[in-house]
């Protein structure tokens, strides 16, 4: 053992009579001590700002030849020029350097631990330490806000990776570039950045920021509200450059951004924001976005992306090929401009969902509202409802195509609205409300010839514009013809059906409509009180005798039949067309009550009743 004086010593073990491995104790002062080149020495710096240099030989494996350097108190420098030693910074702001396979402990104070080549073990222990690493190093930050960086940022080949990094406690900053690194943030709010591929990063606890700009990496946020960005923009010339990263937020309200192709982004618990930015045409996309539990916001970035909201009230939008809301009241919006997906599938799942189809040419939307009372908006003439769509749904077609929509619904009490064009609207069981097309205006009086099949149930059906065919099906249906002069074909089907006429500007809204199967035993004609202004009839009752003129079969309404100058409803069974009787009863309206052919300029036909049923007052109700 050699004990140095309390002064500033400059001691070279090879230049003394203690050249063999030994223990060197420096008591005080700012010492410079060089170990024996034979190795195996223990050097203690003691008090003061010491410089301790280990010269070897290498103490690797079980050789036992590596030096041990202890800085003691003060701001010390421990420099290992050979492999296999162990260094302790102890107290003070120390600097520890190692070539390879050396173990360094910073101790108390703000220390700098530097790996010069590879394979070193670095532990900061306490306070705010700085680490500079190369490859195959093991790093434990310990307590304090630590910074962990690559030693050589100008030469990426010097940082080839395979490092294990555990930042541990407090708010740490890690920025490295090696491939296949493993990084743990530990407690508190960490910033973890890697530009290497095939890395594993876990933020652990705290609100962490995690970034990786390469491929095939796993990025985990852990507990806390984390921000995770992964992936690289794929190169169009490199078919194998597909990113394939896995991002998972874990517990907390996380933000996940994927920038590559074939990435998997999972929000986990909490209200997460998940975005795919893979919009490069050279990428095949195929990203999977999964919100997990919580009310999440998912935005697709490529036509082959798949998005799953999971439990909670989720919002799915952007560009994608499949959006599944999962449980909760979800909104799935596929109306993003620029998509060129041939097919888009929108699945609401459980809950009251809103599904908005894409309106681009050549796109087919497939809707499955699932359980719950859903709103489904068709955007293309090729759209379809798939699945059972159970629940009381609202289904609307809003596209501008004139070729029409084909909407076929199944279960539930649904509200269905067609678009412009010639639509086919078919419902199944349930008490449905069906509207054939858009409202009629002076600029567009004919808005499509729709076919509406209501199916079983007590349905409410509006034909609106165009020459519509309306089939009520089984059940007690409420049928309103279109709001123009083209004339609808109205078929009530089985049940107690109501054929409704509102009247419009003193005339009915559909003077050429045909009631195909009016049954006086079950069906009723409903006339709106304000639309026809009948003087003697009251809303909620059958039409008054004074307001109804029933013509004998084979005759037409004439001046002799006029009863007053008040508006009048007329029914002509088997009226004459020339000298021939026609096989349809005519329900007419005389707004002035002035009479028939001699003064018939204002007499209009409300509807034709096939089969000439014998109407009575009880068949016409005022509403």
pLDDT tens across 80-134, in order? 998 889 999 999 999 999 988 999 999 999 999 999 999 999 999 989 999 999 9
Cα atoms in the 13 Å half-sphere on the side-chain side of 325: 33
**3-state DSSP of 305-354:** CEEECCCCCCEEEEECCEEECCCCCCEEECCCCCCCCCEEEEECCCCCCE
Residues 463 and 484: their CA atoms lie apart, in Å, by: 10
Residue 524 lies in a domain: no
- 580: exposed, middle or buried (C-beta count within 10 Å: 0-12, 13-18, 19+)? exposed
Which single residue is written with the structure tokens 């449905």?
A: 432
pLDDT of residue 402: 46
pLDDT higher for 301 or 595? 301
Residue 374 resides in a domain: no
pLDDT, residue 569, reads 92
What is the predicted pLDDT for the residue at 238?
Answer: 52
Which two structure tokens, joined as six digits, stand for 470? 């309306």
Q: Is the pLDDT of residue 498 over 80?
A: yes
Residue 90 inside a domain? The answer is no
Q: Which domain holds residue 589?
A: 543-622
Three-state DSSP state, 619 = helix
Helix or strand run (H / E) with residue 274? strand 273-276
For residue 57, is the peptide bond before it cis, meaning its omega torsion is within 30 degrees of 0? yes
Query: How far apart (Å, rounded) are the C-alpha atoms in residues 12 and 315?
Result: 71
Distance CA(578)–CA(137), nearest Å, equals 106
Residue 37 is predicted with a pLDDT of: 85
Question: What does the pLDDT average to over 271-295?
Answer: 84
Dig out the tokens for 40 from the structure: 């195996």
pLDDT tens profile 163-209: 999 999 899 999 999 999 999 999 999 999 999 999 999 999 999 99
According to the model, what pLDDT value does residue 267 have? 98
The verdict on residue 368 lying in a domain is no
**Does a structural domain hold residue 615?**
yes
Measure the CA–CA gap between 615 and 521, rounded to whole angstroms. Answer: 10
Pair of tokens at residue 428: 């199944």
pLDDT digits (tens, 9 = 90+) for 609-623: 999 999 999 999 999
Q: Is the pLDDT of residue 278 over 50?
A: yes
What are phi and psi for residue 30, nearest 5 degrees?
Answer: -90, 95
Task: Verify cis geometry, omega within 30 degrees of 0, for the bond prior to 357.
Answer: no
Report whether pLDDT(473) > 60.
yes
User: pLDDT value at position 502?
Assistant: 85
Q: What's the pTM?
A: 0.80
Judged by average pLDDT, the poorest of 170-179, 225-234, 504-513 is 504-513
94 within 8 A of 112, measured Cβ to Cβ: yes
Q: How far is CA 605 from CA 132, 236, 371, 581, 601, in A?
A: 93, 68, 45, 17, 12
Task: Note whether residue 616 is domain-resident.
Answer: yes
For range 372-393, the mean pLDDT: 82
Q: List the structure tokens of 437.
A: 């097309």
What order do you get walking across the sheet with 451-453 strand by strand? 406-408, 424-426, 451-453, 469-471, 489-491, 513-515, 604-610, 584-590, 568-572, 548-550
Q: How many structural domains compose the chain? A: 1
CA distances from 541 to 271, 384, 524, 618 (A): 56, 43, 12, 9
Evaluate if residue 447 carries a pLDDT over 90: no
For residues 354 and 488, what is the distance between their CA atoms, to the nearest angstrom? 32
Residues above pLDDT 90, as percent of the chain: 57
- Whose CA is closest to 314, among 335, 293, 331? 331
Q: Which residue has the tokens 């790093």?
A: 139
Residue 547 lies in a domain: yes
Q: Which residues contact 588 (CB under 8 A, 6 or more apart)?
A: 557, 569, 570, 571, 572, 603, 604, 605, 606
Map 31-80 to HEC letters.
CEEECCCCCCCEEECCCCCCEEEECCCCCCCCCCCCCEEECCCCCCEEEE
Q: What is the pLDDT of residue 484?
A: 61
- pLDDT tens per residue, range 449-459: 788 888 888 98
Which of 544, 514, 512 is CA-nearest to residue 620?
Answer: 544
| pLDDT score recorded for residue 506 | 43
Mean per-residue pLDDT, 572-581: 81
pLDDT value at position 598? 54
Structure-token pair, residue 539: 């809303």
65 or 513: which leads in pLDDT: 513
- Work out the percent of the chain whose per-residue pLDDT is above 70: 85
- Per DSSP bridges, beta strands 604-610 and 584-590 are antiparallel
Q: Report the run of H or E that residue 569 belongs to, with start and end.
A: strand 568-572
586 class by beta-carbon count within 10 Å (0-12 exposed, 13-18 middle, 19+ buried): buried
In a domain, 58, yes or no: no
Q: Distance between CA atoms of 146 and 129, rounded to whole angstroms?
A: 5
Q: Distance between CA 524 and CA 495 in Å, rounded?
A: 11
- Decide if pLDDT at 446 tops 60: no
Are residues 354 and 331 in contact, defined by beta-carbon separation less than 8 angstroms? yes
3-state DSSP: the chain helix, strand, coil percent, rounded to 5? 5, 35, 60
Q: What pLDDT score does 18 carry?
A: 61
Structural contact between residues 422 and 449, judged by C-beta atoms closer than 8 angstroms: yes
Mean pLDDT, all residues of the chain: 86
Q: Identify the top-confidence range among 20-34, 222-236, 557-571.
A: 20-34
pLDDT band at 475 (very low <50, low <70, confident <90, very high): very high
Is the model's pLDDT at 536 over the cut of 90?
yes
Mean pLDDT of 540-562: 88
Alpha carbon of 438 to those of 26, 95, 328, 375, 495: distances in Å? Answer: 95, 78, 31, 17, 28
CB contact burial 449-467 (16+ within 10 A = b; e otherwise):
bbbbbbbbbbbbbbbbbbb
Please report the pLDDT score of residue 171 as a whole number. 96
Give the confidence band of 416 by pLDDT, cuts at 50, 70, 90. confident
Per this entry, what is the length of the chain? Answer: 623
- How many angstroms from the chain centroid is the CA of residue 393? 21
């Amino acid at each position: 053992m050699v004990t140095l004086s309390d002064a500033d010593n400059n001691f070279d073990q090879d230049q003394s009579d203690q050249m063999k491995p030994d223990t060197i104790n420096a008591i005080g002062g700012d010492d410079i001590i060089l170990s024996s080149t034979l190795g195996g020495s223990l050097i203690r710096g003691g008090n003061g700002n010491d410089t301790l240099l280990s010269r070897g030989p290498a103490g690797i494996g079980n050789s036992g030849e590596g030096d041990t350097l202890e800085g003691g108190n003060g701001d010390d420098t421990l420099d290992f020029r050979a492999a296999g030693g162990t260094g302790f910074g102890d107290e003070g702001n120390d600097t520890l350097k190692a070539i390879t396979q050396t173990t360094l402990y910073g101790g108390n104070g703000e220390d700098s631990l530097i790996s010069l080549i590879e394979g070193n073990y670095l532990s900061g222990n306490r306070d705010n330490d700085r680490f500079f690493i190369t490859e195959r190093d093991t790093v434990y930050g310990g307590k304090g806000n630590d910074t962990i960086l690559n030693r050589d940022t100008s030469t990426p080949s010097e940082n080839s990776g395979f490092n294990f990094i555990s930042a541990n406690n407090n708010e740490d900053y890690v920025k490295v570039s090696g491939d296949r690194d493993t990084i743990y943030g530990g407690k508190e709010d960490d910033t973890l950045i890697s530009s290497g591929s095939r890395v594993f990063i876990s933020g652990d606890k705290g609100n962490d920021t995690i970034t990786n700009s390469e491929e095939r990496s796993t990025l985990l946020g852990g507990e806390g509200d984390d921000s995770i960005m992964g992936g690289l923009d794929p190169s169009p010339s490199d078919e194998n450059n597909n990113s394939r990263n896995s991002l998972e937020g874990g517990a907390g309200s996380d933000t996940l951004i994927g920038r590559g192709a074939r990435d998997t982004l999972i929000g986990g618990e909490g209200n997460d924001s998940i975005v795919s930015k893979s919009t490069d045409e050279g990428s095949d996309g195929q990203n999977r976005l999964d919100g997990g539990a919580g009310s999440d916001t998912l935005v697709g970035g490529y036509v082959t992306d798949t998005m799953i909201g999971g439990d909670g009230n989720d919002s799915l939008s952007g560009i994608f090929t499949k959006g599944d809301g999962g449980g909760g009241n979800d909104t799935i919006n596929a109306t993003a401009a620029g998509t060129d997906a041939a097919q888009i599938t929108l699945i609401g799942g459980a809950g009251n969902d809103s599904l908005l189809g894409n309106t681009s040419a050549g796109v087919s939307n497939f809707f499955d509202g699932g359980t719950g009372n859903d709103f489904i908006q068709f955007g293309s003439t090729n759209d379809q409802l798939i699945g059972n769509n159970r629940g009381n749904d609202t289904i609307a077609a809003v596209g501008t195509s004139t070729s029409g929509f084909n909407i076929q619904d199944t279960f539930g009490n649904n509200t269905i609205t067609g678009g412009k064009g010639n639509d086919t609207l078919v419902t199944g069981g349930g008490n449905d409300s069906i509207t054939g097309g858009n409202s009629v205006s002076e600029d567009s009086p004919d808005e499509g010839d729709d076919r509406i099949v209501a199916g079983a149930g007590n349905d409410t059906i509006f034909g609106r514009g165009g020459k519509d065919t309306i089939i009520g099906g089984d059940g007690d249906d409420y049928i309103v013809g279109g709001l123009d002069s083209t004339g609808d074909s109205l078929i009530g089907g089985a049940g107690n059906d109501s054929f409704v006429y509102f009247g419009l500007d003193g005339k009915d809204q559909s003077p050429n409509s045909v009631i195909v199967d009016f049954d006086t035993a079950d069906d009723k004609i409903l006339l709106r009180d304000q639309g026809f202004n009948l003087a003697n009839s009251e809303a909620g009752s059958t039409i008054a005798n004074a307001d109804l003129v029933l013509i004998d079969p084979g005759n037409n309404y004439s001046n002799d039949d006029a009863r007053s100058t008040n508006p009048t409803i007329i029914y002509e069974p088997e009226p004459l067309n020339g000298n021939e009787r026609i096989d349809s009863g005519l329900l007419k309206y005389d707004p002035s009550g002035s009479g028939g052919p001699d003064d018939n300029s204002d007499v209009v036909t409300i509807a034709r009743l096939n089969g000439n049923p014998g109407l009575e007052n009880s068949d016409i109700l005022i509403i």
